[in-house]
Amino acid sequence: MAALTAILSALVKVVRRELRTLLSVTLNNFFLVAAFLSYGSLQGGRPPFAAAPFFFLLALFLLFPASGDPLDKIPQTTLSLWPLTAGQRAALRMATFILSPVAAMGLLIVITLRTWSAVLLAAGMICIRGMAFVGLRTKKRWPRLYPPRLVPALPTAFGRLFSLNLRQLLCLMDFYLTVVISILGCCYRFLSLHPDPAAFPILAILVSLASSTYSQSPFGMESRGSLMLYRVLPLRGWQVLLAKDAVYMTLVCVLTLPLNLAAGVTFSLAALAIGRYPSLTKWTPQRRWRFASGDIRFGFAQIFLASAAAFSASQGDLWVIGAAVLGYVASLMVGGWYWDRGSF
């Protein structure tokens, strides 16, 4: 029993650490938009219903990384060496299921509300945990189906760097949130009987904004040691930065094409220009299968300035698109010069 207690106390620390990493969403641009809408609704004396869809999407995507089994953090070789009986191993599995944040939240909802809707909500959360478990087992059995491994290695040094950056983006929850918002926007446009054309630029801005935090920390998934490998590549600084930016630009262009391409391109150019400074002067580490975390000051600048520019471009103001292009090119050249100096 003493061994089982020691293992469970260690697993509790692991779960607590995982929950702290999930709080990085508070510095994500999409969360900042939801918080701003909630604050505006409360200031107007109304319930914050306007932000409910944003918080729902964030909660839905946070449930997947929170659904992992704490025992998966322990290597199988170490797990097999533990001197535990079959009964103790079964008790350990049951305890780790209860320690899962999703299972604990589901049980708390059922006990607190005591309604059939609460039971259905808890069952849905347990299903999400089951999907996460199946996904992990699928990754172990068929590693080629792991999303980052589906990206082929492109020719040339620039192409290989682009492939690497795309694989990194596929490991962030921002990518999947962006895809879901784009799909919902396309469903509204093509399946609704009378879609409002004025909504398309707004939807394109939301799609671009969902993954814009990535532009503040494109090197966040690199270690300090791996950053030195960029120095041996036959690429100038502006080319390295362009390979990073091209991943976000390609994602936005593809997903906003059915909605409003001008708004999506303008937003992405402005967001990249604004995020250039923190991307080179601050190294914000990012964890896989979490939302990207950024700087709240530059996050609000991207939300308001880039959104305003994107909306003006969607209304036919071509000079705004030109200003966004010039701003991006200037930030790319200055950032490349800063990189070549070895300051990063």
Q: Which of 26, 81, 60, 10 is nearest to 213 (CA)?
A: 26
Q: Which of 201, 205, 215 is nearest to 248 (CA)?
A: 215
* pTM for this entry: 0.82
Kindly provide the b/e burial profile for residues 252-281, where b requires at least 16 CB atoms within 10 angstroms of the residue's own CB. Answer: beebbebbbbbbbbbbbbbbbbbbbbbbbe
Residue 330 pLDDT: 96
Tell me: pLDDT of 318 over 80: yes
> Around 72, how many Cα atoms within 13 Å sit in the side-chain half-sphere?
18
Q: Alpha-carbon distance 57 to 64, whole Å?
A: 12
Residue 336 pLDDT: 92
Residue range 243-299, pLDDT digits in tens: 999 999 999 999 999 999 999 999 999 999 999 999 998 877 888 878 888 888 999
Tell me: pLDDT of 183 over 90: yes
List Cα–Cα distances, 335 to 4, 241, 344, in angstroms: 53, 8, 10
Q: How confident is the model at residue 173 (pLDDT cuts 50, 70, 90)?
A: confident
Residue 75 pLDDT: 66
Q: How confident is the model at residue 47 (pLDDT cuts 50, 70, 90)?
A: low
Tell me: pLDDT of 213 over 80: yes
Residue 3 pLDDT: 63
Q: Alpha-carbon distance 170 to 51, whole Å?
A: 26
Residue 54 pLDDT: 75
Q: What is the mean pLDDT of the chain?
A: 80
Percent of the chain past pLDDT 70, that is, above it, reads 64
Residue 56 pLDDT: 72
Residue 105 pLDDT: 63
Say which residues have a Cβ less than 8 Å from residue 99's Cβ, sequence separation at least 6: 8, 11, 12, 15, 70
User: What's the mean pLDDT in 72-99?
Assistant: 68
Higher local confidence (pLDDT), 68 or 173: 173
The structure tokens listed for 181 are 């918002």
Residue 21 pLDDT: 60
Higher local confidence (pLDDT), 110 or 340: 340
